[in-house]
């Protein structure tokens, strides 16, 4: 692997050849101890470039073009931390434009968009124990239960102001810890101007948004998460960028970061510009950004947004029929870039998570690059999510006729390494909240929601839930206001929150529910072919032979007494969870907690026991003492 040198000629060469993977250490603004700052910016077709800012009363300080590198450089005196600045770019046609610094690590607060002078990261971290544990334990063999958060709307001050990174750390981290999640996934925190984009139309690819505080406050937030044994993932968007003319668009007066072909550059679906992923300098820029967040900010992984948009020539609206030079619809530059991205990152940091948000059936998204795959660690299982939601939104009377919505996922569950997501996209734009999607009266809505979340925990794959779902918020998500925390004054919402906490505890403390998520040996099908009863049971198996969890589900509001479940061994079993327990908002005041499996074969298993399967409910049961070898 090529290591970037501090020598300027080497750094510019590496950037221009697509292997400058720490380019932020060279390009951008670099402040020296004597108050002088060196500014460098890539604008290969510019006629002239200057830097303007607080330090020179916004009067142009000319930069010089460094040979044929396309990089402009200059030094300015009396520069201070916190000074605002921009680059003044004169195009070949003579047009003068003010542009952001693409490598800025901090920006002024919106509505302004000037870059801000910062010192190099000098964070004193306290997460060495967390990072050491992360290196020792492979993610596939760990429980991963993610709480997806939009920082601008998780909680706000009573007057509508944002909470700061520091305030969020004080409130959010203990909450996530109490609820039993293993990771927080932040919707994009890279700097962006438009709140309504939720951060997916990014401007600052190296800068945490100033909405909630400065860069150091964000780093402290991550550090505090790690000290609480909570991982931090962040959504990142390498496919497209904000339309604003003072950002990356036509940076030097010509297509610089975007495709030269205006049709390929224009992203109609999201109102953005597509990066030219085949351009060497863009690859250096984006991979440097990814590594910056993972190395300098200590993130545990990136969820790469809109991967399908980078895989297909015809993915966007209005581009139907577009093909590559071979006559098919693969975006060859995008595919090559994604392989390069994952290969580079995981070679340096094999313990981080690269997660694809990919909505098509593109093969081997999580397959090794050496075998033709894209090299991601995980992929969101969008098919499972849509089918499961469609099933649970249905009136229970008709579920038996659509049981394939649940069972179809059994066919492909091990084709990729999957995360099962109930994400923000499913609770916005009129789609309704998870709880509001559920059929029936309010009691039955909660019963359905508890059963669905228990089904997700039992199904092979890691998990993700969007904020507010943990207590069954009725209103769909609104990015402009806080969650409806007053819901918790209602006993059903409060008990739903207690259920989620207990479900997460059961998940984390029982290895069968996560240890073999990506191995067919991790599941034994016992009763999955009986749509008429609208019930299902299967066994999740750990690596140890006698360590397993029995999961049984009733998808209709009719109690099933003397419901028989086949198991591998005779002996004693105990209840882990009953979704209909009164403590969770159900009707069961007295729980069946002990079960005895007898020598009565059932559905391919040599032993079995009977349970009362609650109406619209689920049971999780584990062996306590079984007859080994029988």
Give the pLDDT confidence score for residue 294 in this predicted structure. Answer: 98
Cα–chain center distance at 182 = 13
How confident is the model over 556-569, as pLDDT tens digits? Answer: 999 999 999 999 99
User: Distance between CA 30 and CA 32 in Å, rounded?
Assistant: 7
**Higher pLDDT among residues 109 and 630, named by residue:** 109
Q: Which tokens in the block code for residue 319?
A: 């581009």
| Number of residues assigned to the chain | 630
User: Distance between CA 30 and CA 83 in Å, rounded?
Assistant: 12
Dihedral angle over CA of 13, 15, 17, 19, nearest 10: 110
Token look-up 């009136």 returns 395
- CATH 2.60.40.1180 segments of the chain: 387-416+427-460+487-499+519-630
The DSSP element (H or E) to which 553 belongs, if any, is strand 548-554
Give the pLDDT confidence score for residue 234 in this predicted structure. Answer: 98
Nearest to 55 by CA among 117, 101, 98: 117
Q: Mean pLDDT in the chain?
A: 96
pLDDT higher than threshold 70 for residue 455: yes
Reply yes or no: is the peptide bond before residue 111 cis, omega within 30 of 0.
yes
Reply yes or no: is the peptide bond before residue 527 cis, omega within 30 of 0.
no
Query: With the C-alpha atoms ordered 360, 364, 370, 376, is the resulting torsion angle positive or negative?
Result: positive
Q: Which residues make Cβ contacts (< 8 Å) with residue 133, sequence separation at least 6?
A: none
What percent of the chain has a predicted confidence (pLDDT) above 90? 94
Q: What's the average model confidence in pLDDT over 335-352? A: 98
Fold classified for 143-386+417-426+461-486+500-510 = TIM Barrel (3.20.20)
Give the pLDDT confidence score for residue 103 in this predicted structure. Answer: 98
pLDDT higher than threshold 80 for residue 629: no
> Contact, 236 vs 302, CB < 8 A?
yes
How confident is the model over 360-375, as pLDDT tens digits? Answer: 999 999 999 999 999 9
User: Distance between CA 381 and CA 359 in Å, rounded?
Assistant: 8
pLDDT higher than threshold 80 for residue 630: no
Give the pLDDT confidence score for residue 5 in this predicted structure. Answer: 42
Question: Which residues are tagged catalytic?
Answer: 305, 357
pLDDT higher than threshold 50 for residue 192: yes
Nearest to 627 by CA among 602, 598, 584: 598
How confident is the model over 369-395, as pLDDT tens digits? Answer: 999 999 999 999 999 999 999 999 999
Q: Which tokens in the block code for residue 490?
A: 């209602």
Give the pLDDT confidence score for residue 137 in this predicted structure. Answer: 85
Please state the φ and ψ torsions of residue 388, each to the nearest 5 degrees.
-65, -45
Cα–chain center distance at 224 = 19
pLDDT higher than threshold 60 for residue 501: yes
Q: Tell which CATH architecture fits domain 8-116.
A: Sandwich (2.60)
Pairing of β 37-42 and β 71-76: antiparallel
- CATH code: domain 387-416+427-460+487-499+519-630 is 2.60.40.1180
pLDDT higher than threshold 70 for residue 6: no
- CATH 3.20.20.80 segments of the chain: 143-386+417-426+461-486+500-510
User: Distance between CA 107 and CA 209 in Å, rounded?
Assistant: 7
Q: Which tokens in the block code for residue 23?
A: 């380019």
pLDDT higher than threshold 60 for residue 243: yes
User: Distance between CA 567 and CA 41 in Å, rounded?
Assistant: 65
> Contact, 526 vs 605, CB < 8 A?
yes
**Residue 8 — very low, low, confident or very high, per pLDDT cuts 50/70/90?**
low
Q: How far apart are the first and last CA of the chain?
A: 54
Give the pLDDT confidence score for residue 138 in this predicted structure. Answer: 81
Q: What's the average model confidence in pLDDT over 147-160? A: 97
- CATH 2.60.40.10 segments of the chain: 8-116
Q: What's the average model confidence in pLDDT over 497-523? A: 97
pLDDT higher than threshold 70 for residue 3: no
């Amino acid at each position: 692997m090529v290591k970037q040198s501090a020598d300027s000629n080497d750094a510019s060469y590496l950037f221009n050849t697509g292997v400058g993977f720490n380019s932020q250490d060279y390009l951008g603004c670099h402040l020296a101890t004597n108050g002088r700052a060196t500014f460098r910016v890539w604008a290969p077709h510019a006629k002239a470039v200057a830097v303007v800012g607080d330090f020179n009363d916004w009067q142009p300080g000319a930069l010089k073009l460094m040979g044929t590198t396309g990089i402009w450089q200059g030094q300015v005196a009396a520069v201070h931390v916190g000074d605002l600045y921009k680059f003044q770019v004169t195009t070949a046609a003579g047009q003068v434009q003010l542009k952001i610094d693409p490598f800025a690590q901090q920006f002024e607060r919106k509505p302004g968009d000037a870059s801000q002078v910062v010192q190099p990261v000098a964070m004193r971290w306290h997460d060495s124990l967390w990072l050491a544990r992360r290196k020792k334990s492979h993610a596939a063999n760990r429980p991963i239960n993610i709480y997806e958060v939009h920082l601008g709307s998780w909680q706000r001050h009573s007057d509508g102001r944002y909470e700061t990174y520091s305030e969020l750390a004080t409130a959010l981290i203990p909450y996530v810890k109490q609820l039993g999640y293993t990771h927080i996934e932040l919707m994009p925190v890279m700097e962006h101007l438009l709140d309504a984009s939720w951060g997916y139309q990014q401007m600052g690819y190296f800068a945490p948004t100033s909405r909630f505080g400065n860069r150091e406050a964000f780093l402290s937030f991550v550090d505090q998460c790690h000290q609480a044994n909570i991982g931090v993932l962040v959504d990142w968007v390498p496919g497209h960028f904000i339309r604003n003319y003072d950002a990356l668009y036509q940076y030097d007066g010509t297509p610089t970061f975007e495709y030269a072909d205006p049709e390929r550059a224009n992203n109609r679906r999201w109102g953005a510009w597509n990066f030219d992923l085949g351009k060497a300098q863009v690859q250096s820029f984006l991979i440097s950004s990814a590594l910056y967040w993972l190395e300098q900010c200590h993130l545990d992984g990136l969820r790469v947004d809109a991967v399908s948009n980078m895989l297909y020539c015809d993915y966007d609206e209005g581009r139907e029929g577009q093909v590559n030079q071979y006559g098919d619809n693969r975006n060859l530059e995008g595919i090559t870039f994604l392989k390069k991205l994952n290969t580079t990152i995981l070679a340096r940091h094999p313990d981080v998570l690269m997660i694809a948000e990919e909505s098509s059936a593109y093969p081997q998204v999580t397959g090794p690059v050496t075998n033709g795959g894209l090299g991601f660690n995980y992929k969101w299982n969008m098919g499972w999510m849509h089918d499961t939601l469609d099933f649970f939104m249905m009136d229970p009377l008709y579920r038996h006729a659509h049981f394939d919505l649940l069972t179809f996922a059994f066919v492909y569950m091990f084709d990729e390494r999957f995360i099962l997501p109930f994400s923000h996209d499913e609770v916005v734009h009129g789609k309704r909240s998870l709880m509001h999607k559920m059929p029936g009266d309010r009691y039955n809505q909660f019963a359905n929601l508890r059963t669905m979340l228990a089904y997700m925990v039992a199904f092979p794959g890691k998990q993700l839930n969007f904020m507010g779902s943990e207590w069954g918020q009725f209103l769909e998500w609104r990015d402009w206001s806080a969650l409806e925390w007053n819901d918790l004054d209602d006993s059903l919402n409060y008990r739903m929150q207690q259920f989620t906490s207990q479900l997460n505890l059961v998940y984390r403390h029982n290895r069968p529910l996560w240890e073999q998520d990506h191995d067919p040996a991790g599941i034994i099908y016992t009763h999955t072919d009986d749509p008429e009863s609208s019930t299902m049971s299967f066994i999740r198996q750990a690596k140890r032979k006698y360590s397993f969890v029995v999961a049984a589900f009733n998808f209709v509001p009719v109690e099933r007494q003397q419901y028989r479940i086949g198991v591998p061994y005779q002996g004693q079993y105990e209840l882990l969870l009953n979704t209909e327990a009164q403590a969770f908002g159900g009707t069961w005041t007295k729980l069946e907690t002990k079960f005895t499996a007898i020598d009565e074969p059932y559905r391919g298993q040599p032993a079995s026991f009977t349970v009362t399967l609650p109406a619209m409910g689920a049971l999780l049961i584990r062996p306590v003492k079984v007859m080994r070898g029988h």
